[in-house]
Copies of this chain bind each other. A is one copy, B any other.
Amino acid sequence: MEGEPLSALCTPALVVDLDKVKRNAKRMIERFEKLGVQLRPHMKTHKTLECADIMTGGSRRCIVVSTLAEASFYANHGFDDILYAYSVPFDKVEHCAVLSERLELFQVLLDHPDALEQLKKRPLKDGRLWHVWLKLDCGNGRAGVLHSEPEAIRLAQAIAQAEGVNLTGVYAHCGNTYNCKGVEQIQAVAQETTSLTLQFVEKLKSFGITCKSSIGSTPSCSHPVKDMSQLSEVHPGNYVFYVWRMWLCCVLTRVIGHSPHRNQLLIDCGWTGISLDGVGKLPTGNAMIEGHPNLKLVSMTQEHGRVEPISGPLDYSNYPLGTLLTLIPYHSCAAAAMHPVYHVHSEGQLVGKWTPTRGW
């Protein structure tokens, strides 16, 4: 398929704009080089080797992953300095230990004293240390011990003092920036997460404990506030496929049916092709249809999407069967997760395929 136009693809197909991915990756690298902050890109959106190479500038060092399957995949392909940024699950402690003993640097994360006990029960060989980040909830409301809880400082102290364990840093995710409207709101959340994380690290210093700090999310790292230069690391990920109001990956689909009795088109992309993320969140349904602002993806089943005009009757002569349409997904991570392969193009010409890892 290499050298052929996008229209040569069978649909549904997830396509990635290589030039934009490279440009976005370069910008993020340069932005944090200037700020003097270590960029640790997150792999969860794409889970491919090729994109990881682009995001690390070819170093294959200093990445974050969301699953142990990703960690193993990257470790097996020469990547190192991997942070498994997921409250260490008890069923996966042994596998984490093996990676910690095998790689130069494998790091885990936790937010509960029972998890620390699990690590202590499995000391690493050859005098190696568990490298542990404390996950802090600074308002994001998912994993993490709440920053203001006295328990948070106690847990950090316990990690720092535990035998065979090193407190590497304090880690906060500001996924709540995705709900923000505009740069000002994003920067307010980024500022709060940064301040709370840095204050926490300062408080630890007063107890004689020094460690790193990291915050992340694509919106906050696309519009960094000044104080972020005081962080040790940042860990955005989604930016390779998405920047605020810009999409680098989309799903190609074709018209496969006309339903004049319902004023609808059928397309060959159902929820297996783009996921159900975004239902009810966009005026155009689960996706936007590039170049057709009056079309709405009203519903999907496993292999079918129903499309209708936002207003007025559909002119079927504009959409003969076989018409190629481009869906811009509500959530690029969720759309990518449905595809066993991504088709990569440069200016509309296919240049290769990327195969993601899956599972846990």
Contacts and interface: CB of A to CB of B under 8 A. Distances in A.
A51 B146 CA distance: 46
Contacts of A333: 302
B277 A66 contact: no
Interface in A54-73: 66-68
Given A66-B302, A175-B301, A341-B359, A271 B334 contact: yes
B275 A271 contact: yes
A256 B89 contact: yes
Contacts of A272: 337
A266 interface: yes
B149 A304 contact: no
Interface string A221-237: 00000000000000000
A271 B261 contact: no
Contacts of A341: 359
A340 B112 CA distance: 30
Interface in A163-179: 175
Nearest to A262: B141
A182 interface: no
A302 B46 CA distance: 12
Contacts of A273: 360
A322 interface: yes
Nearest to A149: B261
Interface string A83-106: 000110111100100000000000
A12 B360 contact: yes
Nearest to A303: B66
Q: Which of A66, A89, A137, A337 gathers most chain B CB within 10 Å? A: A89
A214 to B, nearest CB: 18
Nearest to A68: B10
11 contacts: A11-B89, A11-B91, A86-B303, A87-B256, A90-B322, A114-B321, A175-B301, A271-B337, A272-B337, A275-B275, A341-B359
Given A10-B360, A90-B256, 6 more contacts: A10-B68, A10-B89, A86-B303, A89-B256, A275-B275, A302-B334
